Amino acid sequence: MARKLKYEDAEEIFYAYASKWEATRYVSWPVHQSVADTNKYIRQAIADWEAGLAYNYSVRTKMDNKLIGSVGVVNDRGNVQVGYIMSPTVWNNGYATEAVSGLLKKLTTWKGVYRIWTFVDTGNVASQKVLQKTGMVEEARLVKWFRFVNQNNQPRDCVLYRWPNG
């Protein structure tokens, strides 16, 4: 189950994944040091949503509504990048695949979307498997493509994935 991020989610986000190095290793933002960092992120996420630039959703369990991760998109006039993060406590249980699949299904109904894509560090084998299970296909290997802030900001090789129907 996914819903728009809310200010009330800050503490759950911080403790579920934002403060965890192992969860944030392959994301573009620094690991959060305090709930204040997470509050700042949520303020920006809500402003981006209202501006039509990005849409971030919390991922919650169906049974007890526990926050376990987030999925989101950056929408550059129909060129849509997807991203996700899950709490390490739920890794290898299919939640990421289910959440990303749901997001992709939703994106295919949006007007004006002509490309859906993402990239991952070549070392992030688990995310590559998630993307492949959702139907995304590898498009390219990119040498020294991105600097992940939580990996000493060193340029890393990445794999570019795209949704084959968009």
pLDDT digits (tens, 9 = 90+) for 39-75: 999 999 999 999 999 999 999 999 999 999 999 999 9
pLDDT number for residue 3:
87
Q: Quick one: tokens of 152?
A: 């000493």
Domains within the chain, CATH numbers bracketed: 2-162 (3.40.630.30)
**Chain centroid, CA 152 distance in Å:** 20
pLDDT digits (tens, 9 = 90+) for 142-164: 999 999 999 999 999 999 999 99
CA distance 30 to 72: 17
Q: Taking Cα atoms as reference points, which of 75, 66, 5, 16 lies closest to residue 40? A: 5
| pLDDT > 70 fraction of the chain, expressed in percent and rounded | 98
Contact 28, 158 (CB under 8 A): no
CA distance 162 to 80: 10
**Which residues, other chains included, contact 70 with Cβ-Cβ below 8 Å and sequence gap of 6+?**
5, 13, 17, 56, 57, 58, 59, 84, 85
CA distance 158 to 123: 8
CA distance 134 to 106: 13
pTM for this predicted structure? 0.93
pLDDT band at 96 (very low <50, low <70, confident <90, very high): very high
CA distance 82 to 73: 4
For tokens 């990996």, what's the residue? 151
